[in-house]
Amino acid sequence: MKKIYLIRHAKSSWDDPGLSDIERPLNHRGLRDAPFMSKMLKGKNVTPNKLISSPANRAFTTATYFAKELNIPEQAIVIRKEVYHAYPEEVLNIIRNLSDNDDTILLFGHNPCFTSLANQFSTEYIPNVPTCGIVAVEAEVKRWTDFEKNGKLTAFYYPKQYL
């Protein structure tokens, strides 16, 4: 069984117009939601082999909250520049090339890509994966190269379900 959790970054700040998009930090709500959602995911007994993040500050910061909660060193978060401004096919290419030794991956990134990907694996239309939303996709496969055609959305969590 292979599982991937697509985690959209928590809410970011637009307060400093001098910052580039990639540098934007989390805002107050993001700083509340990221720790909350990481605790929620830990409560579901998710034990990832790897965390992969976009290089954007807001995505990486979100990933650090999950790493801390799941007792994974921050240095173990793998930054993949192609996740930033990615099209679904680019993220699927990352998934296809994951190590078959890893069964559970947390992938931190952005919309509109993550909503498009969620809908590729879902039987019901998802209009939007909100900030700090988590989409779980599972496949009964041994190799990541087989994941795409067998993956099914199994869970969808987001902060407003709880807060």
Q: What is the pLDDT of residue 64?
A: 98
Q: Measured on CA atoms in the order 56, 58, 59, 64, is the torsion positive or negative?
A: positive
| Residue 122 DSSP class | -
Can the peptide bond before residue 159 be classed as cis, meaning omega within 30 degrees of 0? no
Residues of the chain with pLDDT under 70: none
Check residue 71 and give left, alpha or beta (phi > 0: left; psi -120 to 50: alpha): left
Q: Which of 160, 156, 161, 120 has its CA nearest to residue 7?
A: 156
Pick the CATH number of 2-10+20-161 from 3.40.50.1240, 3.40.50.10800, 3.60.110.10, 3.40.50.300: 3.40.50.1240
CA distances to 38, 52, 115, 160 from 93, in Å: 26, 13, 17, 31
Q: What is the pLDDT of residue 163?
A: 80
Q: What is the pLDDT of residue 144?
A: 98
Q: Delimit the domains of the chain by residue range.
A: 2-10+20-161
The pTM of this model reads 0.97
Tens digits of residue pLDDT in 79-122:
999 999 999 999 999 999 999 999 999 999 999 999 999 999 99
